[in-house]
Amino acid sequence: MANKERPIFIAVAGGSASGKTTVVEEIASSFGPNEVVILKHDDYYKDQSNLSLEERKKTNYDHPASLENDLLYKHLKALRNWEAIDKPSYDYVTHNRRRETTRVEPAQVIILDGILALEDARIRKLADIKVFVECDEDLRLIRRIRRDMVERGRDFEGIIEQYLATVKPMYHSFVSPTKRYADLIIPNDFSHSVATDLLIEKVKSILKK
């Protein structure tokens, strides 16, 4: 690496379907292909191979306890020390972690994308920049229905049931309260370009130093 200073770590949180991934991808597109590493918090859902598919479907995936943050914390520390990791991956169809892992090499910019990216104090402490993407609740639900039906093979009734049972109440209990930890809150009801551009310029200025 040309720059051996510690990588910049950005944690991006916000409600389900708030547009976090879009913001993350826009940040990443402003840098070279080997300058950014993106970690999806969803990939760190705990392994549930000991449960049946029906039992796995009932798991509350919007609760902090569903995530293996100990492993994520270990991986983030490794990447910040310019060490490669073997990242797990999550299968939305089987509701379980895949057996295969993905080798991830370190980079100058590390981005964590997840609804609960700011919930764990250890991860917040590692983050150089903490971002919360905010979006109207009704709009997030519409986006979630569209995404889960098209990309994740879910049916409409199941999406609504999960939203009312866990997604909405967990947002108010665990996700929304992390907004107070954010250095930057990005409104994403319609456009977020100004806030995202400011964030990108901030990261670039840090790298130049």
| pLDDT tens profile 132-176 | 999 999 999 999 999 989 888 888 998 999 899 999 999 999 999
Write down the mean pLDDT value for the chain: 93
Question: 8-201, which class in CATH?
Answer: alpha beta
Q: Which residue has the higher pLDDT, 96 or 93?
A: 96
At residue 65, does pLDDT exceed 90? yes
pLDDT at residue number 106: 97
pLDDT digits (tens, 9 = 90+) for 15-60: 988 989 999 999 999 998 899 999 999 999 999 999 999 999 889 9
Sequence ranges of the domains in the chain: 8-201
The residue whose two tokens read 């049946």 is 52
Task: Retrieve residue 52's tokens.
Answer: 């049946």
pLDDT at residue number 5: 85
Q: How far apart are CA 55 and CA 8, in angstroms?
A: 39
Contact 13, 114 (CB under 8 A): yes
Nearest Cα residue to 28 out of 17, 40, 16, 18: 40
At residue 2, does pLDDT exceed 70? no
Q: Which residue has the higher pLDDT, 189 or 100?
A: 100
pLDDT at residue number 209: 74
pLDDT at residue number 33: 80
At residue 1, does pLDDT exceed 50? no
User: How much is the average pLDDT of 120-124?
Assistant: 98
Residue 4's pLDDT band (boundaries 50, 70, 90)?
A: low
Q: Percent of the chain having pLDDT more than 90?
A: 78
102 forms bridges with which residues in the sheet? 87
Q: How far apart are CA 131 and CA 79, in angstroms?
A: 20
Q: Which residue has the higher pLDDT, 117 or 136?
A: 117
